[in-house]
Amino acid sequence: MTTAGPASGATVPSEWVNCWRCGKRVLRAEPSCPHCLAPRRRQSERGPAAEPPSPITPVTRVLAFFGLMLLVLIVHGATAEPLPEHGLTPQNARAHLRSMVGFEIFDAIVVGIAAWTIGSPRKWRRMSDAPAGWLWASAVAGIGLVLALNLAYHTVLRGYIGLSAAADPVLAVTGMTPLLLFAYCLEPAVIEELFFRYLALDTLRGVMNVHAAVAVSSVMFGLAHLGVPLSIPMLALVGVALGYARVASGGLALPMLLHFLHNFVIVLLRG
Amino acid sequence: MADWMVCPGCQLRHTRRPDGLCPRCKQSVDSGEAALAATASAPVAGPVREGHPPVGFRAAPESPSAARLGDLAQAARGKELKSARTIMLFVGIVSILANGYFFSAAASNVQEEIDKELRKLGPTFVVDPAKLAEVKSQAVRTTKLIAFGGLVLGAVFVACGLLVQKHPVPMTVTALILYLGGNAVFGMLNPASLGAGWIVKIFIVIGLFKAVQAAFAYQKEMATTAEAA
């Protein structure tokens, strides 16, 4: 805008300016020209236009990373050497374990990139007002119940198919080593909780109610265990328990502990 | 956006002033309230043409034209959700039919696979009939369980399709997750199934992704409308 417009050709008082587009006199205070509706200042004078909101929302990023995780699992399943049915040597078992740890480190990197890309989800207030001690004690009791359900489910499943309970072949050969504990219990408890109970659950809570978010993140958690397709329904149920532990406690420490305990008991039972 | 009004005395078009006076002739503009409705639209850019809204016209939210624009956008999102519903119902029904077939034909399919394996091993290979029957029985039951899982998955898709208008975001997100996960699970069990019909699968994934985005916008608009009401 200029103070002397081409239409009038005369100097105008300071409260009046000439429109940069039509040249007519306009009050300086007006946000836009009442004659031609042009904004008071040109776009170039106003600075860069605000960028339109990105259609890639955090939820779509979560979904995209979930798809990527499934792809990584499929690639790992297709490329990993299958364990021999009989005569697994300690060397084979250790090699299998190392390959598993390598894959889990890669998985952790994917989750790290996901955390960096998705960003911190909104912080939610803890849902339960119960004292922390009582909450943690009841959560541990709850995971015991879920474990019992898990064992019952797999017993029924094995009975239907006609399979006998078999020990984990790697565990049977290597025994309880720190590497095995890391691969079976610690890494899943930390990395899976970070993705499913922090990134996915907290992001989903922003677009749906808490129960729906827990259910959807649990389905994601169940489906992420592609290697054991018949256990997916039960694992989704475990995910529900861990999801509510996260929501009730407001932190990740409780679901991580419960996940670790769950996996640890399974390892002990299969040893 | 500013409220525009026309001074009844000097016809100056201006925004409302705190003192209620025209900035040029200093007359009260309260009597010019009637003119407000005609000029309620907030100008953004572009000249006004006779009989046409200005270029870049953006209506104030309370104006009828704004409501119509909002309705149009919402109708477009509703259309996207209807497409998503069609996709979900299609995937659900196909899944139910296919897995229903696999469930009922599990025994014959397993027998076919066993025969194929035995042909590969050659006529000199001796099979223990009791062991073979046991393996066959286990394979049939496992196949039936997996097919039953597929049937349930199909039913969930149909349910998502039926409920998508009521709960757009949870249903579209669930459908997308189940579609990706279901394909991954069946791909893990049978890698050849991953490549089968991949063009259709890509279209379905894109359709569901677009439905998720439309559902966000649809739900947001519904929430805004509810708040305004």
Residue numbers of A between 20 and 39 with CB closer than 8 Å to B: 21-22, 27, 29-39
Give the tens place of pLDDT for each residue, A22-49.
888 888 777 778 888 777 666 566 665 5
Residue showing tokens 């504990």: A181
Task: Give dist(CA A62, CA A201) in Å, integer.
Answer: 10
Compare CB distances from B2 to A31, A57, A70 and report the shortest one's residue. Answer: A31
Residue numbers of A between 217 and 246 with CB closer than 8 Å to B: 219-220, 222-224, 226-227, 229-230, 232-233
Separation in Å, CA B222 to CA B67, B69, B72, B164, B226 = 13, 14, 13, 14, 6
Does the pLDDT at position B99 exceed 80?
Answer: yes
Residues B5-20, mean pLDDT to the nearest whole number: 76
- The chain B residue lying nearest A37, using CA atoms, is B43
Partners of residue A22 in chain B, C-beta under 8 Å: 47
Q: What is the radius of gyration, based on Cα positions, of chain B?
A: 32
- What ranges do the domains of chain B cover? 4-38, 80-206
| DSSP code of residue A231 | G
> Distance from B47 to chain A by nearest Cα, in Å?
5
Quote the pLDDT of residue A241: 95
B54 and A216 within 8 Å at the Cβ level: the answer is no
> Distance from A247 to chain B by nearest Cα, in Å?
18
A70 and B12 within 8 Å at the Cβ level: the answer is no
Does the pLDDT at position B149 exceed 80?
Answer: yes
Q: Which residue has the higher pLDDT, B96 or A270?
A: B96
Quote the pLDDT of residue A56: 66
ipTM: 0.75
Partners of residue A160 in chain B, C-beta under 8 Å: 141, 145
Quote the pLDDT of residue B67: 56
Render each residue's pLDDT in chain A as its tens digit; 271 residues.
Answer: 444 444 444 554 567 888 877 888 888 777 778 888 777 666 566 665 555 555 568 888 999 999 999 998 888 888 877 777 667 788 888 888 888 888 889 999 999 999 999 888 888 888 878 888 999 999 999 999 999 999 999 999 988 888 877 777 888 888 888 888 998 999 999 999 999 999 999 999 988 889 999 999 999 999 999 888 889 999 999 999 999 999 999 889 999 999 999 999 999 988 7
B138 and A162 within 8 Å at the Cβ level: the answer is yes
B213 and A29 within 8 Å at the Cβ level: the answer is no
Separation in Å, CA A103 to CA A67, A80, A150, A187, A222 = 17, 10, 26, 11, 19
Residues B48-68, mean pLDDT to the nearest whole number: 44
Quote the tokens at residue B60.
Answer: 């104030």
- What ranges do the domains of chain A cover? 1-40, 58-69+92-270
Quote the pLDDT of residue A254: 94
Quote the pLDDT of residue B69: 58
Task: Give dist(CA B105, CA B214) in Å, integer.
Answer: 40
Compare CB distances from B47 to A36, A74, A230 and report the shortest one's residue. Answer: A36
Burial track B14-36 (b if 16+ CB lie within 10 A, e otherwise): bbeeeeeebbbeebebeebeebe
Task: Give dist(CA A166, CA A172) in Å, integer.
Answer: 10
Q: How far apart are the first and last CA of chain B?
A: 20
Give the tens place of pLDDT for each residue, B21-30.
877 777 777 6
Quote the pLDDT of residue A194: 95
Q: Would you call A207 an interface residue with chain B, using a CB distance cutoff of 8 Å?
A: yes
Task: Give dist(CA B66, CA B79) in Å, integer.
Answer: 20
B188 and A29 within 8 Å at the Cβ level: the answer is no
Separation in Å, CA A167 to CA A130, A229, A238, A266 = 40, 18, 22, 11
Does the pLDDT at position B34 exceed 50?
Answer: no
Compare CB distances from B177 to A66, A73, A212 and report the shortest one's residue. Answer: A66
